[in-house]
Amino acid sequence: MLPYPAESLARLAVNGDVFRLRRTPAGTSYDPMRGAVSAAPPAPKPQLALSGIVWGAEPAAIIEGLPGTDGPRVLRRGETVAGLRVREITRERVTVVGLDTTWTLKVKTSWN
């Protein structure tokens, strides 16, 4: 009986490294973390606060803590600041969306 032709290939694979012409180990060792880019931590979500609501024909919200602004800012429905958009203004609350988050803000109460 004649030997199976693939037998010689199997012997070659077992006796030496078929992927390296010189049949020697690589000059550098394998390091899976080399070249890996560490992801920067996401920016913290802003701490928004609703100072007040101005009610009228076109309601407005006075919002504090918006990124890139100092102090409170007056915004109407649909306005956007630093990627945060005012979605809804009611007499009791304001809804702000952006940065993969939805905030429902209620007016701060005084200590009186």
User: Where are the chain's structural domains?
Assistant: 49-106
Mean pLDDT score of the chain: 82
Question: What is the pTM for the complete model shown?
Answer: 0.60
Contacts of 89 (CB under 8 A, 6+ apart): 53, 59, 60, 61, 76, 77, 95
49-106 in CATH: which number?
A: 2.30.30.830
pLDDT at residue 107 tops 90: no
Q: Where are the alpha helices (DSSP H) in the chain?
A: 6-15
